[in-house]
């Protein structure tokens, strides 16, 4: 997840821009079961983000005209110091009322979250309302955050390149990449790649390499990190976490090694599948320039790719699956909004957060971000446009894992892949090193 911190915090600001705009311009949306939601909104609710204050203030200033005695105060934070500022502010009693977070940040700071007890919002009701990836926001005894956005990974493909090779449709299964026409990847007489089928095998110049490898493991039934419910001596529930990439799956296959074997073959000059090496620019840059047939990226990247090269004829498809394997998955980035225990106006913060439950404006958020909503009822509606016709079904099968530190685990994935490609260690040892190092990071 390269640039994960930047993407996460930037999107947090965008989410609240949309939320507040809807509240202002379409009137306050009713909360299910509450006859007069305005009566539950008073005082000031503070939210943190990274968008410029001038831009945000232009949106939030008019909110007082919509609901009397209620306002939302936006505080812009620096991208690089966002988490540190958050922790330090809480320690000094000056933190925000609400925060946008991903599952990794949730693990690190779950003790600071004011959860909604299952007696109020049952686990069954939550799971019926939101798709499976949102389960990462469930705590041992309550709902820790409300999911607001799912950005699933999809497969981008160059329509002209495939047509020239006589390929009518993009691959549905990973094994098809092993038999695609050789014309998609070309090696000249000097052994230099002059045409690239797919960017797999390396790490540094492959966007989302960590996520692609994670996706392959998840598709084989391995969650990378497994959460297990446990209890203290006084019967208080809590989660323990275990790194499981080295575990064998139901077919007796050690998933980590299987994934590495498949992934790294595309960077091996001795293999027929050779398609990528570390000398190329980033995979995204190569795709935008028309030099890469397939690119694995997030749905939210679509608009940016189209703007960078208006002449590029491309489309998106669901990511390939493991043939004849029951699990169907992609990976996704899910963001949720949580109320903090330290909030000085916790009732108003909870009621502000409850607006996110409403189906009325969830599509606005998804549309603004180029992502999908997290609600099952919205995702189950057949989409007429081609883009959402791929993105919404992909969001339904999106998965993620309990990543304790996105930046630190980037280094673990890089080391595992680099050592395997270079031959510095065997696949077995590379996976073991990854598992042991990840376990040390888990709470």
**Of 331, 206, 212, residue with least CA distance to 262:** 212
Tokens 């498949």 sit on residue: 262
Q: In 82-173, which residue ranges form alpha helices assigned H by DSSP?
A: 82-91, 103-109, 123-129, 159-164
- At what angle are helices 406-422 and 4-25 packed, to 10 degrees? 140
Local confidence band at 13 (pLDDT 50, 70, 90 cut-offs): low
Residue pair 183/171 in contact by the 8 Å Cβ criterion: no
Local confidence band at 192 (pLDDT 50, 70, 90 cut-offs): confident
Local confidence band at 6 (pLDDT 50, 70, 90 cut-offs): very low
Q: Is residue 73 packed enough to be buried (19+ CB in 10 Å), middle (13-18) or exposed (0-12)? A: middle
Q: Rounded to whole angstroms, what are the CA distances from 37 to 42, 238, 412?
A: 10, 33, 47
Residues 282-327 pLDDT 10s: 999 999 999 999 999 999 999 999 999 999 999 999 999 999 988 8
Pick the most confident of 1-5, 70-74, 152-156, 274-278.
Answer: 152-156
Look at residue 24 in the predicted model and tell me its pLDDT.
46
Mean pLDDT of the chain: 86
Residues 375-416 pLDDT 10s: 999 999 988 899 999 999 999 999 999 999 989 999 999 999
Is the pLDDT at 39 greater than 70? The verdict is: no
Q: Is the pTM of this model over 0.85?
A: yes
Is the pLDDT at 23 greater than 80? The verdict is: no
Helix or strand holding residue 65 (H, E): helix 63-66
Local confidence band at 55 (pLDDT 50, 70, 90 cut-offs): low
Q: Rounded to whole angstroms, what are the CA distances from 287 to 48, 205, 225, 364?
A: 35, 12, 32, 29
Is the pLDDT at 208 greater than 90? The verdict is: yes
Local confidence band at 262 (pLDDT 50, 70, 90 cut-offs): very high
Of 434 and 19, which is predicted with more confidence? 434
Residues 60-107 pLDDT 10s: 666 555 677 887 777 787 878 888 998 998 888 889 998 888 888 888
The β-bridge partners of 228 are 240
């Amino acid at each position: 997840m390269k640039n994960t911190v930047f993407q996460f915090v930037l999107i947090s600001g965008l989410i609240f821009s949309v939320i507040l705009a809807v509240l202002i311009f379409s009137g306050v949306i009713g909360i299910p079961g509450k006859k007069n939601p305005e009566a539950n909104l008073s005082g000031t609710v503070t939210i943190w983000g990274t968008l410029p204050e001038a831009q945000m203030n232009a949106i939030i200033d008019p909110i007082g005209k919509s609901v009397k005695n209620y306002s939302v105060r936006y505080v812009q934070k620096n991208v690089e110091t966002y988490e540190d500022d958050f922790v330090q502010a809480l320690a000094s009693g000056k933190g925000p009322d609400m925060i946008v977070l991903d599952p990794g940040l949730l693990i690190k700071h779950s003790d600071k979250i004011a959860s909604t007890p299952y007696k109020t919002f049952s686990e069954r009701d939550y799971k019926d309302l939101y798709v499976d990836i949102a389960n990462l926001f469930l705590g041992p005894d309550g709902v820790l955050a409300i999911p607001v956005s799912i950005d699933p990974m999809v497969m981008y493909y160059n329509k002209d390149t495939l047509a020239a090779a006589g390929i009518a449709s993009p691959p549905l299964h990973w094994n098809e990449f092993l038999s695609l026409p050789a014309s998609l990847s070309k090696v000249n007489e000097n052994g230099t790649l002059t045409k690239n089928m797919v960017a797999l095998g390396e790490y540094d110049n492959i966007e989302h390499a960590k996520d692609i490898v994670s996706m392959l493991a998840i598709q084989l039934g391995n969650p990378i990190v497994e959460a297990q419910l446990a209890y203290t001596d006084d019967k208080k529930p809590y989660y323990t976490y275990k790194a499981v990439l080295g575990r064998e799956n139901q077919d007796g296959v050690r998933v980590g090694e299987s994934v590495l074997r498949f992934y790294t073959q595309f960077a091996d000059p001795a293999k027929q599948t050779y398609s990528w090496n570390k000398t190329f620019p980033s995979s995204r840059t190569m795709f935008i320039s028309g030099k890469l047939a397939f690119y694995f990226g997030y749905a939210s990247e679509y608009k940016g790719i189209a703007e960078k090269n208006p002449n590029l004829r491309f489309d998106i498809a669901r990511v390939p699956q493991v043939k004849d394997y029951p699990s169907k998955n992609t990976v996704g980035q899910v963001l949720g909004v949580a109320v903090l225990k330290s909030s000085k106006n916790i009732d108003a913060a909870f009621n502000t957060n409850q607006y996110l439950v409403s189906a009325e404006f969830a599509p606005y958020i998804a549309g603004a971000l180029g992502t999908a909503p997290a609600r099952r009822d919205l995702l189950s509606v057949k989409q007429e446009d081609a883009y959402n016709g791929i993105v919404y079904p992909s969001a339904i099968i999106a998965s993620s894992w309990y990543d304790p530190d996105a930046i630190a685990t980037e280094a673990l994935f890089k080391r595992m892949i680099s050592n395997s490609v270079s031959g510095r260690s065997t696949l077995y040892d590379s996976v073991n090193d990854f598992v042991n190092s990840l376990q040390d990071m888990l709470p």
